[in-house]
Amino acid sequence: MVRINPLPDGLDARPFTVYESRALGVATKRLRAKDVADGGRLIYLPTGREIELLERARVLAAATPGAWVSHETAALLTGLGLPPWMGNEETIHLSKPHQLPRVRRTGVIGHRVRVFPGEVMNHQGVPVSVRPRTWLDLAAELPLPYVIAMGDQLIRRPRPAFESRSEPYAYPSGLRLLIRQHPNLQGVEKARLALDEMRVGADSYPETFLRLAMRDGGLPEPELQLPLDPLDPISPRADLGYRRFRIAVQYDGAHHLTREQQSKDNRRDEAFLSAGWSYFKVNADDLAEGFAGAIARIKKAKLRAM
């Protein structure tokens, strides 16, 4: 039996390019061993295991000089979120500067774009479009409410106690500049419309969809992250509502199912109810019906309060 020499550390358990193997002195014939599979032009894969999205994105970008991960793949890798009909993890989106040829490779959708400094970042060792640029790239494909909702996530104020950052991913002024820099990009007009509808304070896509549904349903623009006592910095807060009508609305997503979160939610609910507010909790079932029932109940409470 022929003995197979082990691959250098770092190549034995992940996809790699022929450039990486050459740099580490791996002989070409070693790459024909059974523990290595052909991953397409210039790429090799470890046999016998599933290759994750981040690994595939990294090696494809490394095998394509000048390219970076963009569009839907960038949204998945950076946690921006996508509608359920998008985000096919089997396909990687790679962009190149417009003066270079489009990437043509099985399993890759190639894009040629104009790019400015600061629009590509290093994300876990992978060149990826920054989140604001991903938002702009996807504006052409996404319905307007999703462009607004993704934009709300960009300008949302993070909670440093729970996130490894203290600043939003973007500010409205920066997004306006981004739009001005790409006047001919497909979808830029939709992004401009979305920017006018974006608001700071939505912590999730459903919260944005609820706000938009309330507005489209004839209700006034709600206040977001509404504190029960505006003078108390640790006052319980509702996702949105109307102080003048003493109406608070809360969207309960999946993270509200944990025991710790439910305890916090119960204390918040009791605080608003004890203060005499009309208090509404909505969830994914309400989202599925476009919040029609919830909006009808909120309208009745508003009439009672007037």
Residue pLDDT, tens place only, 4-57: 788 888 787 889 999 888 999 998 888 888 888 888 889 988 887 888 999 999
Same domain, 105 and 161: yes
Do residue 153 and residue 252 come from a single domain?
no
Query: What is the three-class DSSP state of 97?
Result: strand
Residue 1: pLDDT band with limits 50, 70, 90: very low
One domain, residues 169 and 66: yes
Residues 6+ apart with CB under 8 A from 233: none
120 CA to centre of own chain: 16
Instruction: Give me the mean pLDDT over the 285-303 stretch.
Output: 96
Q: Are residues 181 and 212 in the same domain?
A: no
User: What radius of gyration, in Å, describes the C-alpha atoms of the chain?
Assistant: 24
Please give the helix or strand (H or E) that residue 163 lies within, else none. Answer: none
Pair (113, 240) in one structural domain: no
Indicate the residue among 163, 197, 231 that finishes a domain.
197
d(CA 54, CA 73): 9
Task: Provide DSSP, 200-269.
Answer: TT--SHHHHHHHHHHHHTTPPPPEEEEESSTT-TT--EEEEEETTTTEEEEE--GGGGSHHHHHHHHHHH
Which residue type is seen at 47? T
Of 197, 227, 262, which one is at a domain's C-terminal end? 197
At 260 the pLDDT is 67
Q: 31: buried, middle or exposed (CB in 10 Å: 19+, 13-18, 0-12)?
A: middle
> Does 60 share its domain with 193?
yes
Model pTM?
A: 0.90
Return d(Cα 175, Cα 110) in angstroms, integer: 24
Q: At 279, is the pLDDT very low, low, confident or very high (cuts 50, 70, 90)?
A: very high
Domain boundary among 181, 197, 213: 197
62 and 101 housed in the same domain: yes
152 & 63 share domain: yes
Residues 133 and 70 in one domain: yes
| End-to-end Cα spacing for the chain | 87
Closest CA to 14 of 38, 34, 44, 41: 44
pLDDT at 254: 58
Residues 215 and 209: beta-carbon distance below 8 Å: no
CATH number of the structural domain spanning residue 284: 3.40.960.10
Could you tell me if 211 and 246 lie in one domain?
yes
What is the number of domains present in the chain?
3
Judgement on whether residues 243 and 148 belong to the same structural domain of the protein: no
At 135-186, the pLDDT tens digits run: 999 999 999 999 999 999 999 999 887 788 899 999 999 999 999 999 999 9
Whether 100 and 126 map to the same domain: the answer is yes
Distance CA 271, CA 165 (A): 30
**Domain enclosing residue 34, as ranges:** 1-51
